[in-house]
Structure 1
Amino acid sequence: MHRLRPPLLRAGLWLLVAAAVIGILSLIFGIRPDCARRLREPMFLTGTAASILTGTLAALAAFMASLPDRSRLWLALPAPAAALWLCTIGYGCISNWVAIGPGSIQAGEAVRCFCTLLATGLPLTGILFWMLRHAAALRPRGVTFVASLSVAAFTASALTLFHQLDTSLMILLWNFGTAVVILGIDHAVARRVL
């Protein structure tokens, strides 16, 4: 059995992969036309920065907590950034709910958004869990949770670049649903998945 690379290095490599996936998808889907204007809005900028920070800290937490000589307190590392991000999601959901009128959301845009969610989330999930496969057996639930939080945060950040709809809540549900499935499979096969 070979030694794992240091967790900071593995987290850094995964963050580079996440940036590359988001960069490739931004070339494929294009940046939303109002992105520059929206980034000047304090709430939008705060939400985007909080989701990026949440994704970064959750990835680091997943790699740190997956090692036996590290404290499980690492799992709490992304909590403050995630709380801020969730507050901005709540604000966005309320303001978007009030603004929704007849014909303002088209089925084509929702389908395109979901396809983008899959194109972003599936490779990030696959790569992150592949990178954690040897180390995550110690704390599979906690590591899976923060890893899923990281993927959800980066997926939400990516979709804010491509889509005008606020889909952060859908992204969180999708990624945590995936985490529940992974943990269920892991439990069913006696922790052989992680």
Structure 2
Amino acid sequence: MRTEELVGSLAGDVRPVRRLSSPPVRLLVWFGLSLPWVALIVWYRGPRADIALKIGEGGWLFEQSLALTTALVAGLAALCASIPGRPVWERVLPLLPLGLWIAIVVGGSVRSVMVGGAWSSLVKVDWVCLPNIASLGVVPAIAMISLIRRGAPVSPYATIGYAALAATALAEFGLRFFHAEDASLMILVWQMGSVALLTAICTVFARHLFPWRIGIRTVTG
């Protein structure tokens, strides 16, 4: 078969595809699907008794804004990473709000230890953080993965890592509306620790979420 005939036969079976919306538009879709779920969980659990006071605290609001910004920027990075040819700097951008968020919490933890003595006396067992963040983040995670699978994530680990970070950071944002634990060391160990653990677990299974890569590797290999 000549090249022209081969190309013609392949082109004859091509079906029209719907072009993906831009990453910012898809991010708005994700946020529109995820935020009602987080709000529903907060409503079901009941807002914390001191929520009115917390909304007036600059430090609490700043940490919450960093958590929300991390979720949104990480979600944008995951959606951008699912489109081949996008600039690399988009994958670095989430590290800025994430780094500032971690720095604020770590700084508060250091001050708590310096004032309160041994760190072990300041950390209580708080196993509910992990299941709470998991339940808050399940819908955001499913929504983000569904959006990503419509693209072609050539870097599955970075893509799913940022997707999981977006979901868990949004979950942490919602958690603090009903979980009345604001000690920096507790937030660092249990809440941000849960975010890191769930993000790592999702990243390990990245390739299993994108089976199309196996087919591409088989054909090109």
TM-score normalised according to structure 1 size: 0.82
CA contact (8 A) 1:156 1:168 kept: yes
Q: Which residue of 2 aligns with 1:171?
A: 194
Choose the corresponding residue for 1:114, options 120, 130, 135.
Answer: 130
Q: List aligned pairs for 1:71-110, cutoff 5 A.
A: 71-94=87-110, 98=116, 105=124, 110=126
- Against the structure 1 CA distance between its residues 104 and 7, is the aligned structure 2 distance closer, same or farther, given a 3 Å change threshold? closer
Choose the corresponding residue for 2:39, options 9, 12, 23.
Answer: 23
SS of alignment partner, residue 31 of structure 1? coil
Distance, in Å, in 2 between the alignment partners of 1:32 and 1:54 is 23
Which structure 2 residue ranges, 5 or more long, are not aligned? 1-16, 182-186, 215-221
Distance, in Å, in 2 between the alignment partners of 1:90 and 1:12 is 31
CA RMSD of aligned residues (A): 2.8
Q: How many residues align?
A: 189
Q: Which residue of 2 aligns with 1:154?
A: 170
- Structure with higher Rg: it is 2
- Against the structure 1 CA distance between its residues 71 and 30, is the aligned structure 2 distance closer, same or farther, given a 3 Å change threshold? same
CA contact (8 A) 1:31 1:161 kept: yes
Which structure 1 residue ranges, 5 or more long, are not aligned? none
Larger deviation, residues 140-149 vs 88-97: 88-97
Choose the corresponding residue for 2:55, options 39, 64, 85.
Answer: 39
Distance, in Å, in 1 between the alignment partners of 2:102 and 2:45 is 26
* Deviation by residue 1:155-177 (Cα, 9 ceiling, x = unmatched): 11011111122343223222222
Distance, in Å, in 1 between the alignment partners of 2:135 and 2:199 is 17
Q: Which residue of 1 aligns with 2:205?
A: 182
Q: Which residue of 2 aligns with 1:141?
A: 157
Distance, in Å, in 2 between the alignment partners of 1:57 and 1:114 is 23
Distance, in Å, in 1 between the alignment partners of 2:103 and 2:59 is 10
- Against the structure 1 CA distance between its residues 114 and 65, is the aligned structure 2 distance closer, same or farther, given a 3 Å change threshold? closer
- Against the structure 1 CA distance between its residues 180 and 64, is the aligned structure 2 distance closer, same or farther, given a 3 Å change threshold? closer
Once the two structures are TM-superposed, the CA of residue 76 in structure 1 deviates from its matched residue by: 1.5
CA contact (8 A) 2:134 2:171 kept: no
TM-score normalised according to structure 2 size: 0.73
Once the two structures are TM-superposed, the CA of residue 9 in structure 1 deviates from its matched residue by: 1.3
CA contact (8 A) 1:89 1:169 kept: no
CA contact (8 A) 1:30 1:162 kept: yes
CA contact (8 A) 1:43 1:88 kept: no
Once the two structures are TM-superposed, the CA of residue 149 in structure 1 deviates from its matched residue by: 1.8
* Deviation by residue 1:55-104 (Cα, 9 ceiling, x = unmatched): 11111121122212421211112222111111122134445664889899
